[in-house]
Amino acid sequence: MVGAHKEDNVSKTKIYIASLFLLVASSTLAQVKFEAKVSKSTLGVNERLRIDFQMNEDGDNFTPPSFENFKVVMGPNQSISNSWINGKRSFSKTYSYILTPTRKGKFKIKQATVEINGQVFKTTPIDLVVTSAVEVPKDPNDPSYIADQNLHLVAEVSKGNPYLNEDITVVYKLYFGPTVNVTNFSEVDRPSYDGFWSHDMKVTRYEIKQDTYKGQPYNSIVIARKVLYPQKSTKLKIEPLVLDVSVEVPTNRRDFFGGRIYKNVQKKVSAGRRTINVKPLPEHGRPIDFTGAVGDFALEVSASKDALKAGESLQAKVRVKGKGNLKLFDLPKLNVPSSLEVYDPERDNSIRTNLSGMQGSITDSYTVVPQYQGKYPIPPINFSYFNPDTETYETITSPEVLINVTEGPTNADAIVSNNTSDTNISAGKQAVLSTGSQFRFLKLRPNLQPKNVSQFFGSKAYYGALLLPLLLIPLAIIVRKKKSARNADVEGNRLRKASRLAKKYLSEAKKNLGKKEAFYESMERALHNYLKAKLNIETSEFSKPKIRELLTERGVSEVPIDQFIAILENCELARYTPATVATMKQDYNQAAQTISDIDKQIK
């Protein structure tokens, strides 16, 4: 009994010790703290935020959150505090970061983790609100305040009240005072140009120039240049360009040699939103044949030959040259007599875009082949445009072009008066001038005799003509079977149709291979024309998000959409960067394949 009593006491002691150990351990774990603290929960997009990750026990393997929608300006900075007061130990370890928001909105700082005493501890996520830029305290010695006073981003617009399709330019300039230095900058928010046809004039070299801002001497850098053509007669908004700029600001301290010490400050500057009031083109005096040309133009209609033989070809050209929205209207069509065979025109663009807008010429070249001898007038062509300088519509009429076909068969059914001075040809009739040799005297008593009639019957040609239909029957059956098989091949027909469609739209680009600027302009126009034909959208809707939305709605998968938008961006960039013939061929093949892929999927 005594032995059993002792064993019972030992068991109770073990239980007591184990319970005491667990109590101490849980008490120790309960005292571990790991938390995140922020300097403010609401801040402006131009302010900074300090966040501290603090623990009261030494830990390892600290992992910060990803800081989405924020940029780390400084950190991590580590600090440790370890002290004994009245025999009681106090410990603190902190990881600190300085953040700046990249945009407005409601965001969340996610969890950070650390390992303490073999266990992983996490912070609680923190909700933050980022508002528009706020006014900062005006401390004249504060480097941030000095940077604000000496840094300005301005969007300089050439016209605030243009006509529809009249060119305007936007030049983004960064002004900074002579006492500060700009060391670096990057785009945070790029403006959108919804409702405009836009052309980006790349700035290849950033030059610092002496300038003035509000009457004061400043330095300036041209950041970006845009040429815009408004496509809607309404109030159009240009969203602001936002830059993140590194600025060196002088302080009151000096180095060992007496030189002033500069402090680097990171600032966000915005050009501000601009509103363009686009005026509609006047209805009064608008010609019937007006197709949307706005600017100052001249019209030329010419033929490569004024005399040729029937069956030979010539080039008839319709050219519009001048300054205006050259890429955004259609040329007048060439009208020729029916006895002239005319092929679809080939487009040739020679356009340069600078801060004055588009300048140059666009030409449609028609291949014309006469079938009969005679004199054929190409009637005058009218071209109407709106001149924003005079605020009036103007119409140009080309002179009549006469083509003399000297040799070839005659066409007695298409004879009209020999009076070439009469240019008022009635609608629907084609003018062909007689050569004076179409009329012949007819014999009143002809002696008509059958010629060599007996030589045909019973000849080889006679029996060949009898057997020929029988020989053609098997050939017709084979052709019909092949045609039926081809028609039954739905997928194959769709592939062939898509391939033909790609070649049709990219034919002009293929002709310009080797001419970099002309090639990429024609390929960009081909992509736009394809979208206009397939999606029934206007030029003003050619924004990349809108293209993606419309193609997605029509059942096109993500990959060809991404490829199509990438090709558009490549066309915009390639005109200002070196490109070899091999690169152009690769871009051409990629565009043809992408159009083919989209056409196979689009519904």
In order, the DSSP letters of 137-175 are P--TT-HHHHHHHTEEEEEEES-SSPBTT--EEEEEEEE
CA distance 179 to 262: 10
Give residue 383's Cα distance to chain centre. 30
| Pairing between β-strand 235-238 and β-strand 242-254 as defined by DSSP bridges | unpaired
Q: Is the per-residue pLDDT at 382 higher than 70?
A: yes
| The CATH number, out of the four listed (2.60.40.60, 2.60.40.740, 2.60.40.650, 1.20.58.220), of the domain defined by the range 34-131 | 2.60.40.740
* Residue 428: predicted pLDDT: 39
**Nearest alpha-carbon partner for 594 in 553, 547, 540:** 547
- Lowest-pLDDT range of 71-75, 478-482, 487-491, 511-515: 487-491
Q: How far apart are CA 233 and CA 278, in angstroms?
A: 5
CATH 1.20.120 placement within the chain:
490-601
Choose among 371, 376, 372, 374: nearest CA to 435.
374
Q: What is the pLDDT of residue 365?
A: 94
Has residue 260 got a pLDDT over 80? no
Three-class SS string for 432-492?
CECCCCCCCCCCCCCCCCCCCCCCCCCCHHHHHHHHHHHHHHHHHHHHHHHHHHHHHCHHH
Q: Which residue has the higher pLDDT, 137 or 560?
A: 560
More confident site: 376 or 255: 376
In which residue are the tokens 């605020």 written?
391
Mean pLDDT comparison of 22-36, 398-412, 528-542, highest-scoring range: 398-412
Q: What percent of the chain has pLDDT over 70?
A: 79
pLDDT, residue 488, reads 61
Average pLDDT over residues 562-581: 74
Rounded to 5°, angle at Cα 119 from 117 and 125:
120
Give the pLDDT of residue 292: 93
Helix (H) or strand (E) holding 43: strand 42-44
Rounded CA-CA distance 542/548 in Å is 10
Pair of tokens at residue 224: 């970006």
- Per-residue pLDDT of 319-361, as tens digits, reads 999 999 999 999 999 988 888 889 989 999 999 988 889 999 9
Q: What are phi and psi of 596, to 5 degrees?
A: -65, -45
| Per-residue pLDDT band at 457 (split at 50, 70, 90) | low
Mean pLDDT of 281-304: 94
Residue 417: predicted pLDDT = 36
Q: Which of 349, 317, 350 is nearest to 333 (CA)?
A: 317
Residue 197 has pLDDT above 70, yes or no: yes
Q: What was the pLDDT predicted at 413?
A: 46
Task: Provide the pLDDT confidence category of residue 154 given band limits of 50, 70 and 90.
Answer: very high
pLDDT of residue 18: 55
The residues near 598 (Cβ < 8 Å, ≥ 6 apart) are 534, 551, 556, 560, 561, 564
**Fold observed for domain 295-414:** Immunoglobulin-like (2.60.40)
For the chain, what percentages of helix, strand and coil (3-state, to nearest 5) are there? 25, 40, 35
The larger pLDDT score, comparing residue 510 to residue 222, is at: 222
Identify the pLDDT of residue 350.
Answer: 93
Predicted pLDDT at 220: 95
Is-cis flag, bond preceding 140, omega within 30? no
pLDDT surpasses 90 at 166: yes
Q: Are 172 and 325 in contact (CB under 8 A)?
A: no
* Helix or strand run (H / E) with residue 521: helix 516-535
Average pLDDT over residues 464-479: 77
CATH 2.60.40.740 residue ranges for the chain: 34-131, 295-414
For residue 585 the two structure tokens come to 């061929």
Q: Which of 238-247, 336-345, 421-430, 564-573 has the lowest mean pLDDT?
A: 421-430
Least confident of 12-16, 87-91, 524-528: 12-16
- Residue 409 is predicted with a pLDDT of 84
* Mean model confidence pLDDT for the chain: 80
CB 116 within 8 A of CB 110: no
pLDDT of residue 173 exceeding 90: yes
The more confident residue out of 456 and 314 is 314
- Residue 159: which pLDDT band, with cuts at 50, 70 and 90? very high
Question: CATH says 143-277 is which class?
Answer: mainly beta
Beta strands in 180-335 (DSSP E): 181-189, 196-201, 208-213, 216-230, 235-238, 242-254, 260-270, 274-277, 295-303, 307-308, 314-324
Which is more confidently placed, 118 or 14? 118
Residue bearing tokens 């600190």: 96
pLDDT tens digits along 404-451: 998 888 875 443 433 444 444 333 344 444 444 444 445 555 565 555
pLDDT value for 458 = 63
48: pLDDT confidence band, cut at 50, 70 and 90? confident
Q: Which CATH architecture has domain 490-601?
A: Up-down Bundle (1.20)
pLDDT at position 24 over 50: no
d(CA 41, CA 186): 27
What was the pLDDT predicted at 426? 37
Give residue 14's pLDDT band: very low, low, confident or very high (50, 70, 90).
low
Model confidence band, residue 455 (pLDDT cutoffs 50, 70, 90)? low
347/364 Cα distance (integer angstroms): 5
